[in-house]
Amino acid sequence: MTARLVYSSGDGGDRRGSGAGDRGEPRTVCPPGEHAVRVRRERSGRKGKTVTLVGPLFLTRHEATKMTKELKRRCGSGGKLGVAAGRDGRAVFEIELQGDHVETMLIELERRGFPAKQSGG
């Protein structure tokens, strides 16, 4: 006996997952010197926990994953690589690190050749 779909509230597509991944894979890649990376501290919507956000990053998934791992190790904290919407609505990579690491990230990104600026307060 074969299984058949009885009911679905979806649009019929075979999309898997939810959240940021639905924005699609970032397609634009730029050399480090051409980025306008912003580093900001954020607490809203995180139950009072502080996180440091680094982005937008126009890298390949492999490069972004490698960079996330190295930055997490540099800060000694957890974090993740996410996909966010850029100013023009296109998908871009964004690194989220647990804790307040704005100063460390500014120094580390400059060392790697990314022109980084602090954003927000």
pLDDT in tens, 88-102: 888 889 999 999 999
Instruction: With a cut of 50, say whether residue 15 has pLDDT above it.
Output: no
Instruction: With a cut of 60, say whether residue 21 has pLDDT above it.
Output: no
pLDDT of residue 13: 52
pLDDT of residue 20: 43
What pTM, to 2 d.p., does this model score?
0.76
Instruction: With a cut of 80, say whether residue 72 has pLDDT above it.
Output: yes
Taken in order of first residue, the domains within the chain and their CATH numbers are: 38-118 (3.30.780.10)
pLDDT of residue 82: 93
E strands present in the chain: 37-42, 51-57, 79-85, 91-98, 116-118
Q: What are 31-64's pLDDT values in tens digits?
A: 888 878 999 999 888 888 999 999 999 999 999 9
Q: In what order do the strands lie in the sheet with 37-42?
A: 79-85, 91-98, 51-57, 37-42, 116-118
